């Protein structure tokens, strides 16, 4: 059984439907016993970091999550769920994360500015990059990473975000280019995170979820 | 880099996909779930469903179809038609929509965009507009393009984005169904005023219309219905053509 942590953040329809489609037994839950009984845990999330981490802590599940991860249970954070895995976020103030993956969450807009990369050359001429980073972008990943065993280098995945994981080089297992190099996925042992939405990334996304089900 | 998107639009009435020319003479086309699966196989980057039904019974039929599609196809889904309140947002998001497109609902209640953007995030709120030239200026039309609201389109766009619309669907009534190309004059005017993704709609007839579109700044996606529905252009062929033209697409 895959436990999807329900902490009142975001719409879980597609995530549940995509896992069901792949034949997984899924439970959307805020019950510690379900996390203990599950083979795998998914931490979803959309919205703002501060609000989400507060809601996650309010469920009282953080200790259980830490215990289960410590025991080696595979966990996958998706989008904001991935960002919550980091040590801290700089989204409107500084907020502590779960600290399961080394790194911080930073603003794409600010880092594009700092890198002088707000504008890019396209077939239409010089264009300003839009933030949020929304849409299909090509993924470059570590070839030996089991999470990506079903997909090809350069396959596109679907992103929707304005902040991204930074200073996490040692955990980064996939990236996409958007003026700056955007962290696409991270891994620390049995803890995985994808900034993109596998449940919205068509067949490529299904291949990634299927691989997670087999880890 | 983010790829340019090709989006088929499915107007659904009474459980079937329909497509008219200049919004008149609507023809029945096919089963929406089958069509959605076909487009997913073809490489569509996103699907837009417009509910053009009127009655409550038909609306339930529409949300059933949406649920079915969202349970089988895992690419972004945008839903529009009959979105007038936050409850309408809630209703379609629960059935698996990722983005909700507002058109007449925003004209009737200009606070809708702001309220929805605060509740669901800007990325969830798509402002869709039917625009037509009237005496040399662009005006917003309501009721499926039949009624001139008198609202200046450029002011409307800027206000909509300031209120939190995260994306725009710009449908030109003047070019819709004519297949002579997108309304680049209108699209350029809009792109010069805002910095959110623009989905161009109305007028695509051949592959070159899309490559021409993507050579204009600020254009993120091309939307069309009949040329895809009647297989005049196959999405996979179109994307291969675009890649050959140096435009980044997802294949």
CA distance to partner chain A, nearest, from residue B147 (Å): 33
Structure-derived torsion over alpha carbons of residues B86, B14, B29, B133, reported in degrees to the nearest 10: -50
CB contact under 8 A, B215 and A133: no
Closest CA to B239 of B247, B229, B231: B247
Whether B250 is in a domain gets the answer no
Sign of the torsion angle spanned by Cα atoms A136, B43, A186, A60: positive
Q: Which residues contact A71 (CB under 8 A, 6 or more apart)?
A: none
Residues of chain A with Cβ-Cβ distance to B123 below 8 Å are 132, 134, 160
Domain of residue B204, CATH code: 3.20.20.70
Q: For A178, which residue in chain B has the nearest alpha carbon?
A: B1
Contact B71, B93 (CB under 8 A): no
- Give the pLDDT of residue B28: 65
Alpha carbon distance B34, B11 (integer Å): 14
Whether B249 is in a domain gets the answer no
Contact B14, B219 (CB under 8 A): no
Cβ neighbours of A60 (radius 10 Å) = 10
Across residues A7-17, what is the average pLDDT? 90
Let me know if A161 is a catalytic residue. Answer: no
| Per-residue pLDDT at B249 exceeds 50 | yes
Across residues B62-72, what is the average pLDDT? 94
Across residues B105-132, what is the average pLDDT? 93
Catalytic residue chosen out of the listed positions A91, A95, A168, A199: A199
**CB distance from B193 to chain A under 8 Å?**
no
Across residues B24-30, what is the average pLDDT? 63
Range of the domain at B152: 5-244
Q: What domains can be seen in chain A, in order of their start residue?
A: 2-213 (3.40.50.880)
- Give the pLDDT of residue A89: 96
Residue in B1, B216, B218 nearest the CB of A177: B1
- Give the pLDDT of residue B53: 76
| Per-residue pLDDT at A181 exceeds 50 | yes
DSSP designation for B4: P
Across residues B177-188, what is the average pLDDT? 95
pLDDT digits (tens, 9 = 90+) for B198-208: 999 999 999 99
Residues of chain A with Cβ-Cβ distance to B197 below 8 Å are 130, 134-135
| ipTM surpasses 0.95 | no
Whether B19 is in a domain gets the answer yes
Q: Where are the beta strands (DSSP E) in chain B?
A: 5-13, 16-21, 24-30, 47-51, 77-80, 99-102, 125-134, 137-142, 147-152, 167-172, 198-201, 219-224
Q: For B197, which residue in chain A has the nearest alpha carbon?
A: A130
| Per-residue pLDDT at B144 exceeds 70 | yes
CA distance to partner chain A, nearest, from residue B148 (Å): 32
pLDDT digits (tens, 9 = 90+) for A149-160: 999 999 999 999
**CB distance from B70 to chain A under 8 Å?**
yes
pLDDT digits (tens, 9 = 90+) for A85-133: 999 999 989 999 999 999 999 999 999 999 999 998 888 889 889 999 9
Number of domains in chain B: 1
CA distance to partner chain B, nearest, from residue A62 (Å): 25
pLDDT digits (tens, 9 = 90+) for B119-139: 888 889 999 999 999 999 999
Bridging pattern class, strands A26-29 and A2-5:
parallel
**CB distance from B137 to chain A under 8 Å?**
no
- Give the pLDDT of residue B54: 65
Catalytic residue chosen out of the listed positions A25, A67, A79, A127: A79
pLDDT digits (tens, 9 = 90+) for A182-210: 999 999 999 999 999 999 999 999 999 99
Q: Residue B16: is it exposed, middle or buried by C-beta count within 10 angstroms (0-12/13-18/19+)?
A: middle
Whole-prediction pTM value? Answer: 0.94
CA distance to partner chain A, nearest, from residue B11 (Å): 22
Q: For B167, which residue in chain A has the nearest alpha carbon?
A: A134
Residues of chain B with Cβ-Cβ distance to A205 below 8 Å are 74
Number of H helices, E strands in chain B: 10, 12
Integer angstrom CA distances of residue B99 from A138, A162, A215, B46, B227: 22, 17, 32, 10, 24
Across residues B47-51, what is the average pLDDT? 94
Residue in B5, B70, B215 nearest the CB of A124: B215
Catalytic residue chosen out of the listed positions B45, B51, B88, B130: B130
- Give the pLDDT of residue B26: 56
List the single best residue of A48, A79, A124, A133 to mutate versus B (max B Cβ within 10 A).
A124
**Chain A positions touching chain B (beta carbons under 8 Å):** 11, 13-14, 17-18, 20-21, 46-47, 120, 122-125, 127-128, 130, 132-138, 156, 158-160, 177-178, 199-202, 205-206
Whether B216 is in a domain gets the answer yes
Contact A9, A50 (CB under 8 A): no
The string over B67-106, giving b where at least 16 C-beta atoms fall within 10 Å of a residue's C-beta and e elsewhere, is bebbbebbbbbbbbbbbeeeebbebbbebbbbbbbbbbbb
- Give the pLDDT of residue B23: 46
The string over A146-181, giving b where at least 16 C-beta atoms fall within 10 Å of a residue's C-beta and e elsewhere, is ebbebbeeebbbbbbbbbbbbebeebbbbbbebbbe
Integer angstrom CA distances of residue A15 from B85, B96, B124, B165, B180: 26, 10, 17, 25, 40
């Amino acid at each position: 059984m895959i436990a999807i942590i329900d902490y009142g953040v975001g719409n879980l329809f597609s995530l549940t439907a995509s896992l069901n489609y792949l034949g997984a037994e899924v439970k959307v839950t805020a019950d510690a016993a379900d996390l203990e009984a599950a083979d795998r845990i998914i931490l979803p999330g959309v919205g703002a970091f501060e609000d989400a981490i507060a809601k996650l802590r309010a469920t009282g599940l953080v200790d259980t999550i830490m215990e289960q991860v410590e025991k080696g249970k595979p966990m996958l954070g998706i989008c904001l769920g991935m960002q919550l895995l980091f040590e801290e976020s700089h989204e409107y103030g500084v907020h502590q994360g779960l600290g399961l993956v080394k790194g911080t969450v930073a603003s794409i807009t600010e880092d594009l500015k700092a890198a002088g990369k707000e504008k890019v050359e396209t077939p239409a001429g010089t264009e300003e990059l839009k933030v949020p980073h929304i849409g299909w972008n090509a993924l470059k990943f570590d070839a030996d990473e089991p999470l990506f065993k079903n997909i090809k280098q350069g396959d596109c995945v679907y992103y929707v975000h304005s902040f991204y994981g930074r200073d996490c080089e040692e955990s980064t297992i996939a990236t996409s280019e958007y003026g700056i190099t955007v962290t696409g996925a991270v891994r620390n042992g049995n803890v995985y995170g994808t900034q993109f939405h596998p449940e919205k990334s068509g067949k490529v996304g299904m291949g990634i979820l299927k691989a997670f089900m087999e880890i | 880099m983010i790829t340019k998107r090709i989006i088929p639009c499915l107007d659904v009435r009474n459980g079937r996909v329909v497509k008219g020319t200049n919004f008149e003479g609507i023809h029945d086309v096919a089963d929406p779930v089958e069509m959605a699966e076909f487009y997913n196989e073809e490489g569509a980057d996103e699907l837009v469903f417009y509910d053009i039904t009127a009655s409550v019974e038909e609306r339930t039929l529409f949300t059933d179809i949406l649920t079915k599609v969202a349970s089988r196809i895992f690419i972004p889904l945008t839903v529009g038609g009959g979105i007038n309140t936050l409850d309408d947002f809630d209703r379609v998001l629960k059935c698996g929509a990722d983005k909700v497109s507002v058109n007449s609902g925003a004209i009737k209640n200009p606070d809708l965009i702001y309220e929805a953007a605060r509740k669901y995030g800007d990325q969830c709120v798509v402002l869709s507009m039917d625009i037509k030239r009237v005496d040399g200026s662009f005006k917003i039309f309501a009721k499926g393009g039949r009624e001139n609201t008198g609202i200046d389109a450029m002011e409307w766009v800027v206000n909509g984005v300031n209120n939190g619309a995260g994306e725009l669907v710009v449908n030109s009534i003047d070019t819709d169904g004519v297949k002579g190309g997108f309304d680049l004059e209108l699209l350029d005017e809009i792109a010069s005023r805002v910095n959110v993704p623009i989905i161009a709609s109305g007028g695509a007839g051949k592959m070159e219309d899309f490559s021409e579109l993507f050579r204009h700044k600020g254009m993120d996606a091309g939307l069309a219905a009949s040329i895809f529905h009647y297989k005049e252009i196959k999405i996979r062929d179109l994307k291969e053509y675009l890649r050959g033209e140096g435009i980044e697409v997802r294949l």
